[in-house]
Structure 1
Amino acid sequence: MSHAPQYETPYGVGTTCEPEQVPVSERDTQTAFRPDFPRQSAGPAPEAGRAGARRAARRKKTKPRSGAARSQETAESGPERGPKRGSERPDGLRRLLPQALVVAFLAGGTSAFVADDKAVQLTVDGESRTLHTFADDVGELLEDEGVDFGTHDIVAPGAGAALVSGDEIAVRYGRPVKLTLDGQRREVWTTARTVDGALRQLGVRAEGAYLSASRSRRIERTGLDLDVRTERTVTIMADGRERKIRTNAATVAEAVAESGISLHGQDTTSVPPQSFPRDGQTVTVMRISGRKEVRDEPIPFAVRRTEDASLFAGTEVVEQQGQQGTRRVTYALRTVNGVRQKPRRLRAVVVREPRTQIVKVGTKQRPSSVAGAEGLNWGSLAHCESGGRPNAVDASGTYGGLYQFDTRTWQGLGGSGRPQDASAEEQTYRAKKLYVQRGASPWPHCGGRL
């Protein structure tokens, strides 16, 4: 039994049929033998995108000529080469010709097919597969395979890199991570698929750190919220002692508790207890004791002055005596680490309102002289009685002013209030009136100086 001739294809070994088994005429050459591989079309089929356009151009360039076409060329060029000898051609040659044409067709088509086919390995987000492709570059391959990629994704080699058989192409998708690192929140992108890989990729020191998610947790393409608190050195000062600890606490209060120190009552820390403890930070615990104290404080009264034409200019008379009010104030008294602090005012309540003092101010022009009292030495008398001081008051408090009037005598002469409160001119005027009435007798010791 004879064996049919064999040929190699990208999909295995094929055989041709022996002429004795399958009689074929010349007009059936193109349809009788159809090898088992994709047909070569007369032109590029409608395909979308860059990949389609490139495949169409490649097919047009590598399309093999059919055996029938080459037969037609031979037939048309026959008259130029010599007289036609078809009638003399043996029957065996006519039977071998179609098979030769098929073998030539297979050899030409297969060589072009093998040249363009590439076996590559494609890994998408960790999942690998080997495939055959006619793509010219990485971008065309990914388009053919329906693999989309964006700004935060990694394609290696790049999308414009040319493809050859045996290439390995990797696509790693980016994932958004809302990272809170030691209290600072920011959004980052990573192509790692696990928390541990993301930490390494972002350069985060995770030894001894607190993680809100396990290292092995997978990061989906939708992203992940991740809280990381690295280990820090914090110094706690309390009760005269210093404690240095390593901690990944979220707040100062937690770090203080980890150092074995308890806060009681009004105790607090030198920085806000809920603030984030920084590496190398020193925190002082403040022991606070306090109490409240209530004090009554005076409220000053106001003074209102009104003009009075019945009083000589320079004379002021208190018509209504002012009175201070009272305010009850509550203070907080604190002692911090044994040191008393400035009292802090908490609240105040008015117990008694102050009363306004009303003063009359004279505007009347004072007479310049008193008949019968002019020409006397009033300055010498004043110097003897009071040392020449208008506001002088004796030790008993009974007599006052330049001439040491008692209040009754003063008011009997038309004066208001107390003599020591009046001006020197008014006091001298009232003294002259007194002299006219009683002579020098009101001044038994100094009257002789007049």
Structure 2
Amino acid sequence: MALAGFGAARLDKSIDLSVDGQLTSMHVFGSTVGDALAKSGVTVGEHDLVSPAADQAIEDGSQVVVRYGRKVTVTVDGATTDYWTTATTVDQAMNELGIRALSGATLSVSRSAGLGREGISFTVTNPRQVTITVDGATRAEATSAATVAELLNALGVTLGANDRVVPAADTAVTEGLAVAVQRVELRTTTATEKVAFKTVKKDDATITKGQTKVQTPGVNGSQVVTFTETWVDGKLEGKSATGTDVTKAATDKVVLVGTKAAPVAASAPVSAGNTSGAGINLANAAMWDRIAQCESGGRWNINTGNGYYGGLQFNYSTWLSVGGADFASRADLASRAEQITVANRLYAQRGLQPWGCRSAA
């Protein structure tokens, strides 16, 4: 019995067990660390730390330390890595794992935050060198902002409703990023513009084919156009019309176009009085000289290119319609006597109606 009591006494050991820093003194009947853990109900896994190892012997007064492993997911400047650590705070874990955070870095959790057995995920954003141009000035900044929007907010840059940011506000901030803020102002202006008249042609059976007459002169109108101008950093970028107000309507030019068939040319010269020379009729010569003076300044060979020819200003079709081709293809190519002869032919048919200067007769 004495030997049995002695053996039992040797198996009974008093040890200190620390589990994640919680110290417990206990008596253990066993010979190894594993026996002590089993006695205390402590289960360990592959990521947990046990010191001494589970198969190591224990003695009276031994100290056993258990530190549970925690899974830590860390995203540093956009790169994510999973770690296992026995640290019990974020700061301890970063030091143990060698996770570098530069001065001015931003952490998504406090460094003093505890690590439970469930683990933790957090981000580390180290400051990056960027340049920002705003209000005409460019400066360099060190920032740990994740996006351009966060950068502008951190720098106190306020955007107007129409301002632009390049690159876009949701762009991730990277080393060396250049950010530009463009101040955009929209201005409203107006301008008075001409409204050109239109030309409308109408058939008129009272006018000979090939001839035209302006019934109504065209008159330009006017309108006030409203523009929206886009000014970027004080410089005009462009403008667009946003409204029109017609202040004076244009008046169409109405041109009458002759449709009446031209008279058939006379087969022989029409006599309107005495004649001089074969086929020449110089009747009313003084009258024709007065009309010619009014029509052409008395220049019987005039050709101004306006479609009317000679001293009496025949147009091409009228000249031919009364036999002008007997003398020349156009009136300005005929002599005074020949032009008077042709004028007498037309006079016999239509009187002085064709001549604008008939009042000079």
TM range (shorter): 0.3 to 0.5
TM-score (norm 2): 0.47
Q: Which has the higher strand share?
A: 2
- Which structure has the larger Rg over C-alpha atoms? 1
TM norm structure 1: 0.39
More relative contact order in 1 or in 2 (CA 8 Å, sep 6+)?
Answer: 2
